[in-house]
Structure 1
Amino acid sequence: MTDTEPPGGARPDDGEIAEGWAEPWRPEQVAARLAGLEAPWCVAAGWALDLFLGREGRPHGDLEIAVPAAAFEEVRGRFPELEFDAVGSGTVWPAAGPAALAATHQTWAREPASGRWRFDVFREPHDGATWICRRDRSLRLPYAEVVERTAAGIPYLRPELVLLFKAKATRPKDRADFDRVLPHLSPDRRRALAGWLARVHPGHPWLERAAG
């Protein structure tokens, strides 16, 4: 990402964003289109937690997937009917070019005919087959330890890492996700989450419960 904001962006209000995300796709729809992709993509955020638990725990206003940044063009090529808008700090760059992509890590896939966003792509830092946490670049893991799969083969970000990302904002839905997922984490998973929280968010209110 760059430190300067490129020209051509727009700042939609909350109503426009809600309208644009009125009909997000589901994980199985994206998974079907990305079948056979060699890059280690995965469903992220709240949907990833539901895939881990094996059930839908709450409504989802969007669908987020994570891909290695170098694989984004390959992913985009699987959806030739969609435009990909770069997003960052409340600004949206429609049909993003190289400058907007370099300035952001988030990309909303938009259906031009309806104007609706169908899913969100996080373009993640990596070093070959090693995932790099964008919140703390010293946190690095092999993709084999980052991506898990459902019985149907849908890849998702391991729940401890999903909760680590949710710990930054701790919105009501993030706290609810933590509360519903924590009891289902094994002791090893809890220890991993506690260690990462202590590293990335020292003193975080979730730390004591994760370590307990």
Structure 2
Amino acid sequence: MSSPDGGRPITATEAARRWDPWTPSVVAARLATCPAPWAVAGGWALDLFAGAISRAHDDIEITVPRADFPQIAHAFPEYEWDVVGDGKLWPYDRAGSRPELHQTWLRDPFTGAFHLDVFREPHDGDTWICRRDPTITLPYTELIRTTTNGIPYLIPEVVLLFKAKANRPKDDADFRRVAPLLPEHRLARLHAWLTQLHPDHPWSTQICAPVIGSSPTE
């Protein structure tokens, strides 16, 4: 499917200059009354799982069922939204309905700074559907965990599955830091998903074979 017309190119340099990411606690405070099942994603989610900040983060990402994005937007009436994809930006009202475009950046209309990246994810009711392989699904009650101070985050095996595609140095560092903290059933699930989406991925060989098929421990 071709990209919609009218997108404005944005370079990685410009994006880095304009990003001024909030922290998970700031996002959680703004979304405290939002009924949508949202969760922190990306590297921040792994930090929330591990209970410590591992590195500086260039942005902050959250995920929400695509149909529930208006509930997220409602919590930020003073901001505007841009849909992002293929190195371009579109106003949300122009490209928000395109199913192949899922990233949505919150923008301060006065400064032009970006503070939050929202992934509008495919779903079937209360069940999350992986946009990279629709056979991978989880109920949102299983997909999302919450810190002791009430910040929701994606379970680490889902975060690592998405990081596996790029496998940048920071992604590999995230895997090496978080994998030893995962119970056996989560490692087994990550291994199965990696085998399905990324055969022969180097992380698969680092997940011990005996954990495959183990019973949940949490």
Class of the TM-score when normalised by the shorter of the 2 chains: over 0.9
In the TM superposition, residue 100 of structure 1 has moved relative to its aligned partner by: 4.5
* TM-score, L = length of structure 2: 0.92
Q: What is the match of residue 144 of structure 1? A: 141
Residue 5 of structure 1 aligns to which amino acid in structure 2? S
| Structure 1 match to 2:46 | 49
Q: Tell me the secondary structure at the aligned position of residue 32 of structure 2.
A: coil
3-state DSSP of counterpart to 1:40: coil
The structure 1 residue matched to 2:37, chosen from 35, 40, 63, is 40
User: CA shift at 1:32, angstroms?
Assistant: 0.8
Aligned residue pairs total 208
Which amino acid is 1:148 matched to?
R
SS in 2 for 1:97: helix
SS in 1 for 2:114: strand
- Counterpart for residue 85 of structure 1: 82
Question: Runs (4+) of structure 1 moved beyond 2 Å?
Answer: 98-101
Task: Give yes or no for the alignment of 1:63 onto 2:60.
Answer: yes
Q: What is residue 164 of structure 2 aligned with on the other side? A: 167
Per-residue CA shift, 1:82-112, capped at 9, x if unaligned?
Answer: 111000111111x321435414111010011
Structure-to-structure mapping, 1:114-125, within 5 angstroms: 114-125=111-122
Find the counterpart in structure 2 of residue 99 from structure 1. 95
Per-residue deviation at 1:18?
1.0
- The alignment's TM-score, normalised by the length of structure 1, stands at 0.95
Whole-Å separation in 1 of the counterparts to 2:115 and 2:4: 24
Aligned match for 1:18, one of 7, 16, 22: 16
Distance 1:83 1:8 in 2: 17
Q: CA–CA distance in 2 between the matches of 1:26 and 1:189? A: 26
- Counterpart of 1:195, as a letter, is A
Letter in 1 for 2:56: P
Task: Specify the code of the residue in structure 1 equivalent to 2:95.
Answer: A
Identity %: 53
8 Å contact from structure 1 (residues 49, 162) kept in 2: yes
Tell me whether 1:109 sits opposite 2:82 in the alignment: no
Structure 2 unaligned runs (5+)? 210-218
1:25-59 Cα deviation digits (max 9, x unpaired): 00111111111222211000000000000110011
Aligned-partner SS, 1:189: helix
Contact kept in structure 1, 2:81 and 2:92, CA below 8 Å? yes
2:35–2:71 contact (8 Å) kept in structure 1:
no
Higher deviation after alignment, 41-50 or 26-35: 26-35
Give the CA deviation at 1:6. 1.1
